[in-house]
Amino acid sequence: NRGNKKLEEVITGTRNEKVLTPALVRCSTPQKLRSTTPQKAAGLPGGMRLRRNSALYADTRFTGTRGLQPSEQGNSFFGPHTPGISILYGDVYDVTQFLPEHPGGSKVVLKLAGRDATEEFDPIHPSGTLAENLDPSCKLGRVDPATLVAPAVSESSAKREQEGPVDVQTLLNLDEIEEVATKKISQKAWAYYYSASDDLFSKSFNNQVYRQILMRPRVFVDCTNCDTTTTLLGHKVGLPLYVAPAAMARLAHPDGEYGIAQGISSFGALQIISNNASQKPEEIVANSAPGQIFGWQIYVQNDRAKSIAMLKRINALPNIKFIVLTLDAPVPGKREHDERVGSLGRGLDAISDGTGEKREAKGGVGKTLFFGTATDLTWKTTLAWLKEHTDLPIVLKGVQTHEDAYLAMQFAPQIKAIILSNHGGRAMDTAPPAVHTLLEIRKYCPEVLSRIEVWVDGGIKRGTDVVKALCLGAKAVGVGRAALFGLGAGGKEGVERTFEILQAEIETCMRLLGVSKVSELGPKHINSRAVERDIYDGHAGLEKVGLWVSAKL
């Protein structure tokens, strides 16, 4: 209420009638109504009915201030055990029935109760989310736009608008692209993309470790031609560079993951679609270039039926050639930048939603996305379960020791590749960078490199970083944040510019090394001695691993 003026919210009923609503429905413990009929008590016309076992707050009135806001008499409507009534895309929804099932917990929904939630809802939910998860009866009607007060434009939003468009062709490296994107995207988006665990050591070291590896250029070599094509899982790609699974791309730009797919299409690059993508996989792969291939990342859910249903959809998409089972983050790391901005409501108590499961009171986008992720995955059970539901090749993401790389090799040919990754420094801080694990494999079990493909991600800022990883035996190198910041800086064109820069730097590096093909790169082209001093130097432990595999399988 502003200026002590109380307004009644106007919505349009099922018969295109404008209805004054002095009361709204909540799905909770039924209460005795103050009128003989629910319709009269709620002030609804005959064409609109209350659902069974509904309860009313007969004195609740709503203003038009930034959507549905409770009047002084109706503040109790938004108590800790009441439903969320929100405006989405111009419709008024009662989302009470979905509170116990919301992947991010009920608090995210309750934060948006009583107002227009479209701006926050739309960038992080694929199209069709409402239709797939809510009963049609939850749609209460249309809101009258005339009763809504436009939300105030924040200082940061106004500043972003003043920045204006940027010619991405003037940006010369990934740091400049990130700088532009940081100015253009929301604080919430930046915090989610930038954040990493604890002190951000692993995030920083992922890149710093590449600075410790020196190149060994050769001279008097014809470097006229340079071919960056290679094969990944038997598929020809234009670059040994892929987009690692990175969630919530529409926080950066409305084009989202689809924009990333379009941006890399001319390079023949591969994209792994995040399990938490902000668009449907069917939308992301639509209109892809001939021969463009994708992978799908899966976080196995506690409710296995949800994972099975998604795998069924993925199996039906011919452009998706493999499944990436992510293992390095069974629980979210402590990402303070993300938590500081926060995606959950202020001053709301964590509640169980009737499930008996206490949900955390604080967190950011990252913790929200992890709700419902299974923590009981094992070598013995999970791969067998996965085999029952897909024939697609499996790539294990998040391997951080040579022992686990060796174990993964035992499961070939179901497992075709592994990705050495510490989740971009977002899971366990001080976990080793991919380069360390790659050197461990070369030292303790080099046969892994010939039995399955080994990919890496994390810390890539230059084409020279890509080439160094390839020299150590990596088959492909992934970028996650770089693609998101490219999208934030300029949409599809920003992603194109990101890959254009990296491709040019890769080609320049290869030419100066005296290499004309990716397949020619090897350890002789680099000096990694400074890094080798820091890798794990204990017992290989592969005998025990071998016995364990024999016993368990």
* Catalytic, out of 299, 353, 402, 525: 299
% of the chain with per-residue pLDDT over 70:
70
Spell out a b/e string for 8-37, using b for 16 or more CB atoms within 10 Å of the CB, else e. Answer: ebbbbbeeeeebebbbbbbbeeeeebeeee
Phi, psi of 233, deg, nearest 5: 55, 35
Helix (H) or strand (E) holding 463: helix 463-471
- The pLDDT assigned to 553 comes to 53
Average pLDDT over residues 87-110: 71
How many angstroms separate the CA atoms of 11 and 1, rounded?
Answer: 18
- The pLDDT assigned to 264 comes to 98
> Where residue 151 falls among pLDDT bands split at 50, 70, 90?
low
Q: Return the minimum-mean-pLDDT range out of 155-164, 221-230, 381-390, 491-500.
A: 155-164
How many angstroms separate the CA atoms of 355 and 375, rounded?
Answer: 19
Q: Return the minimum-mean-pLDDT range out of 178-187, 232-241, 249-258, 343-352.
A: 343-352
Neighbours of 161 (CB within 10 A): 10
Exposure of 289 by Cβ count < 10 A (0-12 exposed, 13-18 middle, 19+ buried)?
middle
> Where residue 158 falls among pLDDT bands split at 50, 70, 90?
low
Average pLDDT over residues 306-320: 97
376 against 117, higher pLDDT? 376
Examine the residue annotation and report whether 328 is marked as an active-site residue of this protein: yes
Q: Return the minimum-mean-pLDDT range out of 13-17, 147-151, 408-412.
A: 13-17
Tokens describing residue 513:
């090394």
Spell out a b/e string for 296-322, using b for 16 or more CB atoms within 10 Å of the CB, else e. Answer: bbbbbbeeeeebbebbeebeebebbbb
pLDDT at 475 over 90: yes
How many angstroms separate the CA atoms of 545 and 451, rounded?
Answer: 17
pTM recorded for the entire structure: 0.75
* CA distances from residue 145 to 38, 122, 151, 256, 348 in whole angstroms, order as listed: 27, 18, 13, 28, 28
437 against 365, higher pLDDT? 437
- The pLDDT assigned to 103 comes to 62
Longest dimension (CA), the chain: 96
pLDDT at 301 over 80: yes
% of the chain with per-residue pLDDT over 90:
55
pLDDT at 235 over 60: yes
234 against 91, higher pLDDT? 234
Average pLDDT over residues 192-196: 87
Looking only at the bridges linking them, the beta strands covering 526-527 and 476-479 are: unpaired
- Which residues pair with residue 408 across a beta bridge? none
Which is it for the CA torsion 518, 523, 526, 530, positive or negative? positive
CB contact at 8 A, 425 and 398:
no
* Catalytic, out of 423, 444, 457, 525: 423
pLDDT at 10 over 50: no
Cis previous bond, 413, omega within 30: yes
**How far from the centroid of its chain's Cα atoms is residue 282's Cα?**
16
Average pLDDT over residues 156-169: 70
Tokens describing residue 1:
């209420």
Examine the residue annotation and report whether 423 is marked as an active-site residue of this protein: yes
pLDDT at 370 over 60: no
pLDDT at 9 over 70: no
CB contact at 8 A, 61 and 74:
yes
Average pLDDT over residues 142-156: 65
> Where residue 548 falls among pLDDT bands split at 50, 70, 90?
low
pLDDT tens digits along 60-76: 333 343 444 333 333 33
- The pLDDT assigned to 177 comes to 98
* Catalytic, out of 94, 116, 255, 328: 328
Q: Return the minimum-mean-pLDDT range out of 63-77, 127-141, 200-214.
A: 63-77
pLDDT tens digits along 496-505: 999 999 999 9
pLDDT at 509 over 50: yes
Residue 535 backbone class (left: φ over 0; alpha: ψ -120 to 50; beta: rest): beta
- The pLDDT assigned to 15 comes to 36
Nearest to 62 by CA among 10, 106, 25, 19: 10
pLDDT tens digits along 385-443: 999 999 999 999 999 999 999 999 999 999 999 999 998 888 889 999 999 999 999 99
pLDDT at 292 over 60: yes
Average pLDDT over residues 304-324: 97
The CA-based angle 399-404-406, given to 5 degrees, is 120
Q: What is the mean pLDDT of the chain?
A: 79
Q: Find tokens 């409402």 and name the residue.
A: 130
Average pLDDT over residues 240-249: 95
CB contact at 8 A, 110 and 53:
no
pLDDT tens digits along 251-276: 999 999 999 999 999 999 999 999 99
Q: What share of the chain is helix, strand, coil (3-state, %, to 5)?
A: 40, 15, 45
- Taken in order of first residue, the domains within the chain and their CATH numbers are 10-147 (3.10.120.10), 168-185+207-330+365-552 (3.20.20.70)
